[in-house]
Amino acid sequence: MKSSDLFARAKTLMPGGVSSPVRAIKPNPFYVERAAGSHLATVDGADLIDCCLGYGPLILGHAHPVVREAIERQLEKGWLYGTPTPLELDLAGMITADHPAVDMVRFVSSGSEATMAAIRLARGYTGKQDIIKVEGGFHGAHDAVLVKAGSGATTLGVPDSAGVLADLVAHTRQVPYNDPEALETLLANDDVAAFILEPIMGNIGPVLPDGDYLADVREITAAHDVLLILDEVITGYRVGIGGAEVFYGVKPDLATFGKIIGGGL
């Protein structure tokens, strides 16, 4: 079946025909049959160079033999125990070794859960309610961060989606990226638990931090007893083994990782 036929069927089975808005390519997404190395083979017979690689976690390309053999070895031993396993200690040890700012690790299943847990932890620890995010920053599909980009430092959160309570996102404030003054101004007037940001903006196209922006952000948040959450779902293990934390030398209070930790699984 061709991609256009598959998409016609998908629309009868899944709202909009896809499971994520980023896949809603017009007139229809291309459907992939298999992948190897840097190439994707579509059901339409096209051979495409994959510049996306699962949004980054497939650093070694698709179906790299070393990774595949490791997965196959583990499959022999089962894949869901519902109890602790020694392997999780090895993985946690690797993550803490790679990141000087990371003392301990909590495993979750997605980047969205990681940012949700980090925000909850920050609120619980500080006893404060508000969080700040960057306009245009994306941190997953949970209510507190599903807020449209606003137009200034004092903009109150406006829900991005039906079903998200206005009362809830009123606790999500926003500042522009690369604007330490806006952060300083907002913190001078507000009682904030945490500032969450992508160290390199990824979801509006890559935008790098200007000059000392990340160092300024660290200094300003520390001065106001606000926790700094670096969302490394996109930058982690991509800009370097220690992510943006090591690359830019910024020490967050909490860091969130996503699909890279499972290598795409």
Ligand X SMILES: Cc1ncc(COP(=O)(O)O)c(C=O)c1O
Positions in the binding site for ligand X (CB under 6 A): 55, 110-112, 115, 138-140, 198, 202-203, 231, 233-234, 258-259
Asked if residues 195 and 156 have their Cβ atoms less than 8 Å apart, the reply is no
Q: Which residue, 111 or 157, has its beta carbon nearer to ligand X?
A: 111
Of 15, 216, 38, 233, which Cα lies nearest the Cα of 141?
A: 233
Least distance (Å) from ligand X to the CB of residue 62?
A: 19
Least distance (Å) from ligand X to the CB of residue 265?
A: 12
**Which residue number has the CB closest to ligand X?**
111
Give the per-residue SS3 of 136-153.
CCCCCCCHHHCECCCCCC
Q: Which residue, 186 or 255, has its beta carbon nearer to ligand X?
A: 255
Q: Which residue, 7 or 257, has its beta carbon nearer to ligand X?
A: 257
- Please identify which residue in the block is written with the tokens 């650093």: 59
Least distance (Å) from ligand X to the CB of residue 15?
A: 18
DSSP classification of residue 44:
T
Q: Which residue, 3 or 139, has its beta carbon nearer to ligand X?
A: 139
Q: What pairs with residue 147 in β-bridges? A: 159
Least distance (Å) from ligand X to the CB of residue 176?
A: 17
Identify residue 173 by its one-letter amino acid code.
R
Instruction: Collapse the DSSP code of 197 into the 3-class scheme (helix H, G, I; strand E, B; otherwise coil) and give the result.
Output: strand
